[in-house]
Structure 1
Amino acid sequence: MNDDTREKRWQDRFPRLLPRYALLACLALVVVSLGVVLTPARPRESAEPSFSDQARGAALAETVRLLDAGSHLGTPAREGSAAPSAVRSTDLPEGKPADTGNRAVERAVTLLTTQAQALLAPGQSLPDAPGASRADSGEPSASASASAGAASAAAASAAGSSAAASSAAPLPATAGQLVTALADSGRQRLADAAVADGGMARLLAAVGTAQLLEASALAAGTGTAAPPADVAFPQLSGACPTASTGSGAATTGTAPRAAADSPQPPDSPGIPGASPAPGATVETALAAVARTEAQTIYGYQVALPRLDGDAAKSAAEQLARHGELLSSAESLSRQHCSAVPPREAGYALGPSFLASPAAGLGSLETAALPVYGDLVALSDGETRQWAIAALLDSGKRAVVWGTDPGALPGLDRAALPSLPAN
């Protein structure tokens, strides 16, 4: 009887207590949710930068460091100001005026400024070029030096320990030291280009090529020893994988590979003119190289009878060199199971080429630069090593014929940042 009474009381009381239980449950949920919100989330560990990002950061840090050094060496004297003291007439060989050295240094500063702008990551900005504002004494201003130091520190932070060590190294204090540092930086950029991804490889190859060429130009302009500016071509080896079948197409190496089967390089946002055209492959790039070399050979054959003396001798040597490059490009095409473009009997050359064959040969050499740049971006391994060496080779030949390959040879000039005002 008592049990029945207690059960009846509970049944009568439960409906009245139900709202309280619901309220307590809601309060518990609120407390738990507040605890979750107020508990700070464990910060995610930042991912290690890729090799390409590290290589870009290191290139930027070293380029800004060289830019700072060049700015300290001086630029041509402005109207109403004294000549810079860093490049003195006593530093140059007899008969070479000091302003020649100054112009060579200023050209290096302009080139390095353009390269630094191209190496900036999206969202980064470059301080005003150091040394642009100078006192009448010709010494760099304190604010300019501070800007360059800040830029070096920012670039070193992005690049890691290797760039930090480079940034902390003493600045080249003489034209000879700047020549050596430029050449060392150029060789390092080319070494990094062999490993980096896609468009970044093309950008690094362009920077390294221009720095090696500028080191030679600065050495000539300041009367210092010229550094070696060569990159060894790899010994090409290998064959199309289908060659083992013994078929006729495989034997000639002309079995084309579908474009969809060729790996595409990763996109390179923020790098003007570095990414290849959509749909481009290593096979199409090699075909473009072969056609460009065949056209260049024809140009040399036409120009050679119109040249004499040292120019004719140089043209004959370069003609033989282009024959080797064409054979190598065709060999690489076969290795990639790609069709080799047929050699045409002739190519159209404008009247200006016949009127000035030396300048025309220089134009042909510079026209080959973006073709090799495409191949650098699209290829890897042995093929990319060959393309990097050929890019530098073309830049050197352009200089021989009096044509400027630019601050970033191998990139689309229309997409490059504007040159800074002198």
Structure 2
Amino acid sequence: MHDIRAIRENPQGFDRDLERRGLAPLSAELIALDDARKGAVSAAQANQERRNALSKEIGGAKKAKDEARAADLMAEVARLKDEAPGLETAQGEAAKTLDERLAAIPNRPKDDVPEGADEHGNVLYREFASSREKLTEGRQHFELGEATGLMDFEAAAKLSGSRFVVLKGQLARLERALGQFMLDLHTGEHGYTEVVPPVLVRDEAMFGTAQLPKFREDQFAAGDGYWLIPTAEVPLTNLVRESILTEDALPLRLTALTPCFRAEAGAAGRDTRGMLRQHQFNKVELVSITTPDKSAEEHERMLSCAEAVLKKLDLTYRVMTLCTGDMGFASQKTYDIEVWVPGQQTFREISSCSVCGDFQARRMGARFRAKEGKAVNFVHTLNGSGVAVGRALIAVMENYQNPDGSITVPSALAPYMGGLTRIEGPNH
């Protein structure tokens, strides 16, 4: 959510940032809507002030026994009272119109975000090479999984339709191991607090993190005003909604492993084979709540925490800085971590780490009280995948595959696999 006062103070800067996102100038429209809101507020206030003044005059007229004057004044008060509900309604509608318009506009990109129309404008930030020999070809994860009999898309389709999977046996355990490994890493080494949040949230929570109203079609509605979460970003970030935190309590660093649900309405025909784009998947989420002066530093820290997962799994990856045309609606700046998948002979996204500034905080009413001066300001929010468990499973399967179709278990996962070093499936 944008601050209309900031837009008024620098409309040219606001329009310039929108232009970087490929949008037309909007400051004039927004200022006009704010003028209408202010006019409605002034009209309602003037009505109330006039009624208050007339009430005093009525008292004076009655004291002077000027009944005719008192009657005229009382009639005017009655007329003003009749007008008041309409003025209050107009005031509410003007505020709602402005808020809805502001809520539909994406966040402003930071100055150092590269400009571009789509993913082709993204810029390499850094990269990491595995200590093992990089596979440049091999079977895709679904070929490996189906060959072992441990990945069943047909059974999932009978249960739920397309874009679902049933994992069995050793592959099911491998996915569980990945999630536990990530949680232990982030809580034990990176200082995140583990949370088990609800996976059903209300409209207000989805609005707070900007999934609603713009991305309604990408979500799964559960009825009665509830939604299945698309990511644990939603409940974790909303833990501070409608709150005033102390500066000493910041930063808050939270993590959760949850199922996530996405309708993928805008992804028809994309990645229909395999587990890359599922309606249901597991993900370890990282969320930070911090002060404005620390958010850029926290963004780099969060990225390093997500990278540590792939480094410990010894997977080749690269970090891309997303351009203005490719980053998310609520983001000021986003890093994507892309892991090498030899089955496709390309890099695929496995994590996005974004800093949102006060964009989500304004939608949630999340603030903090500064130690110096006791001023109350909006917090800054950040979120990132730490990382997507299903995509990590894909990366491990494809990068650790053997010529015979078996999969070597990475050493980092050995403590979670009960001594199992190789996944071979029941046929072995």
What TM-score comes out, normalization by structure 2 length? 0.22
Point out the structure with the larger helix share: 1
What TM-score comes out, normalization by structure 1 length? 0.23
Point out the structure with the larger strand share: 2
Bigger radius of gyration: 1
